[in-house]
Each structure stands twice: as C-alpha cells, then as structure tokens.
C-alpha cells in the first residue's frame, strides 16, 4: 500500500489539497510495510487453527478488497 498511497498523495498535492488534510497518507506510506504479515499472524492466533473461522476471515477479506477496488475505481 505505501506505493499506492504515495501516488494518491502526489495527486492530491498536485490538486492543491492542503498537507494538513493528508496525514493519513503520510502515516501509511511510512508504516504499512509488514502490515499484512501482522494481520495474518493475528488471524492465526484468533482462529486457533479453526478452519471455519479462517474461511470466514478470508471471506471478510475478500469483501474488504472488493470495496477498496470499487473505491479506487471511483477516483478515476
């Protein structure tokens, strides 16, 4: 996500969005590396190897991913 957020930030700055309104992007550009691995490890711990719970988490992840794609598509 850091590369994507860097592109979004660049576009917003080019369109005169004030820097103080863009803190979310600055934070996530600098801290998102490794984020996916942390989430995965948390899911492993929370599901205790329960296949049904893991599948439920995977399905929720798909829903979130589709929503993100729709959001990003709407920016074009």
Q: Which two tokens stand for residue 3?
A: 């590369």
User: How far is the C-alpha of 44 from the C-alpha of 5, rounded, in Å?
Assistant: 27
Buried b (16+ CB within 10 A) or exposed e, 5-18: beebbeeeeeeeee
CB 25, CB 12: distance < 8 Å: yes
pLDDT in tens, 34-66: 777 888 888 889 999 899 999 999 999 999 999
pLDDT in tens, 4-42: 888 889 999 999 999 899 998 888 887 766 777 888 888
């Amino acid at each position: 996500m850091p590369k994507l957020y860097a592109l979004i930030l660049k576009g917003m700055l080019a369109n005169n969005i004030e820097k103080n309104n863009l803190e979310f992007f600055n934070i996530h550009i600098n801290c998102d590396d490794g984020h996916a691995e942390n989430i995965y490890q948390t899911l492993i711990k929370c599901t205790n190897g329960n296949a049904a719970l893991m599948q439920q988490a995977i399905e929720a992840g798909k829903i979130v991913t589709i929503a993100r794609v729709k959001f990003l598509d709407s920016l074009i």
